Every structure is written in C-alpha cells, then in structure tokens.
A and B are shown apart, each in its own frame.
Chain A
Amino acid sequence: MLNKSFYIYFSALVGVLFLLFFPYLFFSEKVERDPGTVRVMTYSSFIQKWGAGPEIAKRFEEETGLKIQWINAGNAGLLIERLKFKKETDQPDIIIGLDQFSIHEARKFFTWMSMKENYSKMGSSLLPRGAQFSDFLAYDWGPLTFVYKEGEIEPPESLQDLASKKYDNKLLLQDPRMSSPGLQFLLWVLADMGQEKGFEFLEKLKPSIRVMSPSWSSSYNIFKLQQPTMVFSYFTSPLYHQLEENDDSYKAVSFKNPHPIQVEYAGVPDFCVNCEGAHQLARFLLRPEIQKILMKKNYMFPVGKEALDGESFRLPENVQYYKPIENLTLIKKKRQLVNIWKKVFY
C-alpha cells in the first residue's frame, strides 16, 4: 500500500500546478471577439515581444481605438494550411506574413479584397517593379544573396562562379522543401539559367554545398560558427551585425545576375468580419513610423521611401532584382521542380 507521504506529496504537486496555472485562468488577457477588435492571423515570431507585432498593436490601438487579436499560425509556411481549416470562431480579418509563394496558394483557395486604395495612400515606393499586387499589400521586402566575412573568402561575381573549385564545401544553403529562402535559391537558379541548365548547374554545385539545412536560422547559426563559409541569406543580414554588434566584417555579395527578392504581404480575405478595421490596419502598416518598426524588427527594407530617412539602412547600389511575378510561372510548377530537385540531391 502507498503511504501517507505519497498522498501529501502528490496533493502538493497538484497544488503547485494549480498555483502556476491559476493566474492564466483568471487574470490573463481576454480574447473574445467584439466589434472593436481586428483579428490578425500571422506567424509566431511576428507576435513575439522582440517582433514587430506588439508595438504595432499598441500604436494601432492608441490611434484607432481598435484592439488587435492575434491568431498564431505557428510558422509562416503554415499560414495557408491554417486558413484552410478556419472556423467561425477563429476567422481572421487580415493575414500578415504571406510571401510571393504563399499568395499563389492563397489565391487558389480564397478570394481576397482589393488593396489598391490602401496602396494609394503610400508615398514614393522602394519596392521593385512587379512586386505589387492588387489583392495583396506588400509591407516589407529584402533581396537575397550570399553573406560572408570579409577577408575570409573571396566573393563570387556571378551565380556560375559558385560551382568553381574555390568554393568547394563552402556554401550553406537551405532546403527548398522546408524553407522559403531555400525555394528562392532554387527558383533563382532556374530563372537565371533555364530549367534544364539550372538543374545541370545544381548537379555541379553539389561539391560546393557544405550543409543544406531545414531553415534559414540553422544555416545562419552554423555560418556564424563555421567560417570560411558563405550562407544564402538577406542583403540586410550584415546590417544586423553592424548595428547590433558593431561588426562591419559581414558582407553581402553583389552578383552580376539579378537577385531574387523576398516580399512580405498582408491580405484581407472576403470572409473578413471587421473588414474596415482590417483595411485600416493594412494602411497603418504603410505609415513611415510603422515601416521603421518593421524595418528594424524584421531586418528587411521598407516599402515606403520615407522610412529610410535618418536611418542607417541603405539599399544596395548597382544591384538588379528579379520581379516576383517572373517567379509565378515557376512557382506554378513547384511540385514538378521540387521532384526534379529531389532527383538531383537524392
């Protein structure tokens, strides 16, 4: 038989659990829907305390009196999947954090309200041509490239250079099945060289690849520890080290070839409940002061020119970009392309 001490200890354990749980049960923030709320579905890091979400929500509420209620979709790749399973109780008014690949999926399954009027409120745009769509509002963007540490590796001049001997075992890439930058790299190669030559190039590139990681974060962390290597990342990555660590040695490679860009979009679905509030928030995202928040928290470029005033963020010079719209024909063949990619790497 169990002794008395067991029951006392077990009751104490239940008590401690209840004490830890109690404050959340009765004193946590209420999330019931009311007319003064805008429901925003987004990815988890956007709503973290170091993400842009909390500050934007605070300012939006101060100015409009509308409260933001977050619906977390986990990681950015799951936004559309989450939306497919939405219920009336968790129907979002606006979705923040889609990229040019997921908006293609988003259009297949849902109808989206026009954003033209919201764009018209914006001043001069920094966004490369072809990155704006009438049904989705771009709120930040960033060109992608390879990042390296100055003095440790000689930067390549063209995409083709990456397959040369001197980069053997030096490249850190991401898997296109798991990571948006990884898919960007695959489409970059295919857009630049064409499908057949692109896959031939990837075959040649294999000796240069040290790690093909599941996410940008894992490859970037390995890059920081293991040099000399080059990681496929954002043009803005060196800015982080410059501004936060006072380290100027991180550099972004400017290729002769046009660079791919990653654009983040917001969209208002036709099933929104507080549609006016959603559009208000969309317009709010384009305000210069909010663009500055997005720029500094996400380490991405703003879409409005005014946000750069007085900031150390500068667009790279003499760099050309692929238009996201050019990728659309490729993204429609995503399954086929990824299957060929698997044959190359499996």
Chain B
Amino acid sequence: MEKSILLRKSLFVFLLSGLLFPIVYVSLQAQWFHFEWDPVLFRVAVGAMQQSLGSTVLTLVLGGLGAIGLLGVSSFCRRTPFQIFQFTLVLPGFFPPLLVVTLTVRVLGFLPTGLWSVIFFHVLMNIGLVSVFFFQLIKDRAGGWIEVAQVAAVPRGRFILQGLLRELRFEIQAMAFYLFILYFFSFSIPFLVGGSLYGGIEVFLYEKVVMFGEWGQAAVYSLLLFGFLFLISLFLKEQTNLSIENSHQTSRSFSYLGWPVLASVGVFPLIFLCFGLLLSLPYLFLADLSEQWPAIRGTLMVGLGVGFFCFISLSILTYSFLRHPWSKILLAFVHPGWVVVGFAFLLLPGQSTAVSFLKIIAALTILYVPFLYRLSFHERLKDLQAQVQVTANFSVCWKRIFLVILFPQILPTVCFLSGLAGLWACGDFAITGFFIETAEVQTLAFQMKELLSHYRSEQAVQFLWPLLLCGAVVFFVFQGLSYVSRPKINS
C-alpha cells in the first residue's frame, strides 16, 4: 500500500509539473521575478469580480431551470435524439466569441455593451452547458430523492427549493466556483463588449506582456490571483451526504415541465445557433470542401488529440485519487493566461508540422485539464470516496480498486469531459495561432479567425458547418468510448 501511495503521489506531482511547466519555463527564460504594484489591477479585478459574480448567478439560475426542463423532456424523448439535443445546447460555448458577438449583432440588430452585455454573452454561451450538467447531476445524484418526494406527495416547488437545492448544495457550490473562474479569466467577451471598466484580467496580463514585455509582472500578478482563488477554494465545503441512485421515475415527475421550461431558457441560444447556421448555408455551397481537407484533418487531429490527452490526464488523476490538500491545489489552479502558455511552447525547440501539432495539443490540454477538474470531475471523484475507503479496509490492492471500482464508475464523466475538451479544442484559434510554423499546420477555427482578420467575414462563415461537424465527431467519439464500456459496468 505504501508503494502505491508513493506512485499515486508521484503521478500527481508529474501531472502538476506539466501544468506548471509554462509559467516556470517562461520565467526561467525571461529570468524574472520583479514586482511593481499597478493600481489599475485593483480596478480591473473589481470589474472582473462584478461581471463574473453576475454571470455566475444568472447562469446558475437559468441553467438550473434548463436542467429541470431537460429532465422533463428526457422522460419522453428517445436516447439518440436526446443526446444530439444536449449536444446542440452545449454548442454556443464552443464558437469563437467574435463569431458569437457578430451573429448576435445580426439577430438583435445592435451590439449591447457594458456590464450587462458581458453577463448576457457569458450566460448565452454557457447556459446550455450548465443545464446539461445539472441535468446529469440530478439524474445521477438526486434521482432517489425525487422518488421519495413523489411518494410523500411533497409539492414540486417546495421539493425543488428545500429538497434539490439543499441536497445538491455542494455540487452547486463547485459549479459556481467553476463558472466564477471561467468568467473571471474570460478574455474575448469582456474585451469585445465590456468597455473599459469590464475589460477583464486576461487583457490586463496581455497588455503587460505584449505592450511592455513585462513577463515578470504578468507572472507575479498571475501568482497573486492564483493565491486569491486558492483562498476562495479553501472555503468550499466537502460533500458528506450520500446520493440515492437514479431510477426512470426521476424524469417522469418533471415531464409536464419539460418543453415549456426548456423553451423559455434554451430558446435564445438555439435560435441564435440556427440563425448562424442558416446564414452560413449559402456560403457552404460556394466553398470547395476538398480544399479544406488539410484544415479538417488538422482540426480533427487537434480535437481528438486534446480529448485523448485529457482522457489520460483525468485517468491519472483518478488513479492518484488524492484528497485534501492535494485536490485543493488543482481546484484553485489557474493558468497565467493563454498568452504565457502559448509562448512557453513556442519557445520549445522544434518547428516541423508534427511538432507544431504536438505543441498545440499539449498547450490546450494544459489549459483545459484544471477546468475539467473543476467542472464536475472533482465532485464525481468525491462520490466514490466511501466505496474506496470500504474496499481499502479489506486490504485490496490499489490497482484492483482502480480497475474494478474507480475507473469503470468514473469513465462516463471522464469520457464526457474529454469529449468536451476535444470540442473546445476544435474551436480554438488563440493557441493554434502561435504554432502555424509551416503551411501544413491548419485548423478550421484558425482559418476562420484569419479570414475575419482580412475583411473576409462572409467567407469565414463557410467554415462553420465543417467546424461543427468536426466538433460533433470528436465529442461523440468520446461519448462512444463511454457507451461501449457501459453494459459491462451495469452487469
């Protein structure tokens, strides 16, 4: 057992070193650390705090309603169409923000700016994701409670307020923390529509690096923010209650709420999505898809590669299964901005096409893993703690605990999160832009961004359909991995 603990700790430290690599490598190269207080940081942080708190609360409320809607719809919708429906709800979060903003201008006819605009776009892009997560959570964790409430004839309103919210308070807290960090470090949306007051932390760091070459300051500020978020994470309480497993009755109790609730919450992201897709239709027929094959291949490789390495990283974390204080480190882990991560890999030797793709995949994996960990992985791991403890008491070897208890149960979450990371990676252009070393390094999202930067916004839209298709392929490849292992798990 001692040996296995050492191995688990070593694996965790190995993974953490990988995550820390960009900031350490760039700081060694730049030979810094110097500190000079910039009073603007305080104002930027307050603005970022306001917009991220507002966005978090609204996303949670509307996402919760969306989850109830999904719960109702799932009772009468078949499995495959329902999965596709969930996929479409998640999609707005993976479009390049510039495209989301421009499409919204088309739909609304004007561009709103300021605090509420930042909140609007954040909620618009993430409401589907949160709905899907809460839906999964309610099914997995609170299914039994719903049945108990039904038997006891508890009114639904009271059940939601006093039952579900209370029962899932730790998960809601974890999701709130995930969203808060996501919004706090959001780059494009605050910058595009936030105006000067809500420009965001990432912009501040970007300015330090690109405008003044102050890598040292950027790193010190990143560490300060990391410390601040770490302190917040210390207040997150651990879950102690046991879940009651789901049964098919869960969904039925909400079936009458299904479409009305979902329609009111999810309608705008979907209208927006359909509108965007319809707009791109004429351009699709103008485009020669065979010419886009290198970009399609590159996109698939980046998406699948990032999904694969996220799968491996999350599997390593499952094997490590380290609790407090180790888990807190990852929970609070925030990267010092994509520009530092991209630059660190850019400085590494090697400029061939293969190496460039590997750098893109590695950089994106490093950026996404802490997010995936916060998103739901951490909570799911905690669920299994009681089972692991009981089994360990019987002196079962760790390898067996991992293979028989931990991994099969966490696999659906790992696959979903890896698919999500792959989907995000398909839409990335910021990190990819660092590594277009040779003409062969191409991805659809990067080409879209380059066309947008050269007057050609209409041509950029023609990449939307292939990009969506690639994202769907990557997402469902990882969902498939979970699906093929399911029968054995249930047996």
Contact = CB atoms under 8 A, between A and B. Distances in A.
Q: Do A and B bind each other?
A: yes
B263 to A, nearest CB: 27
A342 to B, nearest CB: 6
Interface stretch (B54-62, B65-73, B103-111, B149-157): B103-111
A214 B308 contact: no
A18 B197 CA distance: 47
B484 A5 contact: yes
B191 A217 contact: no
A87 interface: yes
Contacts of B206: 177-178
Nearest to B204: A177
Contacts of B435: 72
B239 interface: no
B105 A226 contact: yes
Contact of A211 (B113, B349, B433): B113
B454 interface: yes
A2 B403 contact: yes
A214 B192 contact: yes
B213 A225 contact: no
A105 B207 CA distance: 15
B20 interface: no
Contacts of A24: 352-354, 357, 440
Interface residues of B, number: 72
A21 B349 contact: no
Contact of A6 (B301, B451, B484): B484
A216 B481 CA distance: 43
Interface string A328-346: 0000001100110010011
A299 B454 CA distance: 9
Looking at chain A's contact residues, is the secondary structure mostly helix, strand, loop, or mixed? Answer: helix
18 contacts: A1-B403, A1-B404, A2-B485, A3-B487, A6-B484, A17-B301, A74-B343, A80-B213, A82-B343, A85-B343, A89-B349, A90-B351, A175-B191, A211-B193, A214-B188, A214-B192, A346-B40, A346-B196
Given A1-B403, A75-B433, A90 B349 contact: yes
A299 B455 contact: yes
A81 interface: yes
B213 A81 contact: yes
Q: How extensive is the interface on chain A, given as a class?
A: 35 or more
A212 interface: yes
Contacts of A29: 352-353, 438-440
Contact of A21 (B188, B354, B451, B455): B354
A45 B484 contact: no
B196 A45 contact: no
Contacts of A224: 457
Interface string A7-47: 01110011011001100110011110000000000001101
A297 B101 CA distance: 27
A77 interface: yes
B301 A1 contact: no
A156 interface: no
Interface in A237-255: 237, 240-241, 244
Contacts of A45: 450, 453-454
Interface string B418-450: 000000000000000111111110000001001
Interface string A180-197: 000000000000000000
A322 B438 CA distance: 37
A49 interface: yes
Contacts of B480: 9
B349 to A, nearest CB: 5
A107 interface: no
Contacts of B43: 346
